[in-house]
Chain A
Amino acid sequence: EAQVTQNPRYLITVTGKKLTVTCSQNMNHEYMSWYRQDPGLGLRQIYYSMNVEVTDKGDVPEGYKVSRKEKRNFPLILESPSPNQTSLYFCASILSGKSTDTQYFGPGTRLTVL
């Protein structure tokens, strides 16, 4: 089954404790991205990756890092989480189509930073 998986699905942590949210897709997609969702703000892109070893900042990259060492994986790293990073995080990958892309979202990771 074609899917994007994220782990963990829920995480409660404390300020300053480094964490990684993993994202994996089994569709051999080149493009992957991370979004955060906050009430009243919708989804905002954090980072995206066009391919292995090619990453770039989205609209809200501060406080986050990413890496793309393999095509299937795109982990999101919070080296020193702060309470303002409490949010719902979505990973997504894109199948580029002839006329329209198809975006596959992961199930989301709900992060609380105390």
Chain B
Amino acid sequence: AQKITQTQPGMFVQEKEAVTLDCTYDTSDPSYGLFWYKQPSSGEMIFLIYQGSYDQQNATEGRYSLNFQKARKSANLVISASQLGDSAMYFCATGPYSGSARQLTFGSGTQLTVLP
């Protein structure tokens, strides 16, 4: 069984600053994947970034990077140069097989507000 913990229900960041959203995970699977999704106020789920448990380097996608610390079981999302459009709910999730988005376990989410 997997578990995701997001300890920050809400976060505020000033526009153009960087922000880190925390995610810790617990899994007994030897191979697993970590995902981050964004949910704007309109409600749709938008995939942001993925990290496999065997990946040596931290994943990056544009302004998003995933700070993966395997020993600490953390997979924090870093958003650089925040924009007003980044205001949204952010979910961390894990799946039982590296690369697989099947049977994901999600965290409770972090509501990010970007201030002008």
A14 to chain B, nearest CB (A): 24
Mark out the residues of chain B between 36 and 66 whose CB falls within 8 Å of any chain A CB in the assembled complex. Answer: 43-45, 47, 50, 52
Q: Is A105 an interface residue (CB 8 A)?
A: yes
Which residues on the B side are within 8 Å of A41 (C-beta)?
Answer: 108
Provide the residues of chain A in CB contact with B45, threshold 8 Å: 43, 90, 92, 105, 108
CA distance A35 to B47 in the complex (A): 15
| A58-B101 contact given A100-B33, A102-B47, A108-B43, CB 8 Å threshold | no
Residue from A35, A58, A101, A107 within 8 A of B100 (CB atoms) = A101
Q: Mark B8-43, 1 if CB is under 8 A from A, else 0.
A: 010000000000000000000000010000000001
Question: Considering residues A42, A92, A105, which has the most beta carbons from chain B within 10 angstroms of its beta carbon?
Answer: A42
B79 CB-CB contact with A under 8 Å: no
Tell me the count of chain A residues lying within 8 A, CB to CB, of chain B. Answer: 25
Residues of A near any B CB (own CB < 8 A): 31, 33, 35, 40-45, 48, 58-59, 88, 90, 92, 94, 97, 99-103, 105, 107-108
Chain B interfacial positions (CB closer than 8 Å to A)? 4, 6, 9, 33, 43-45, 47, 50, 52, 91, 93, 99-109
Between-chain CB contacts (< 8 Å), 10 pairs: A42-B91, A42-B107, A43-B45, A45-B104, A90-B45, A101-B102, A103-B47, A105-B45, A108-B43, A108-B44
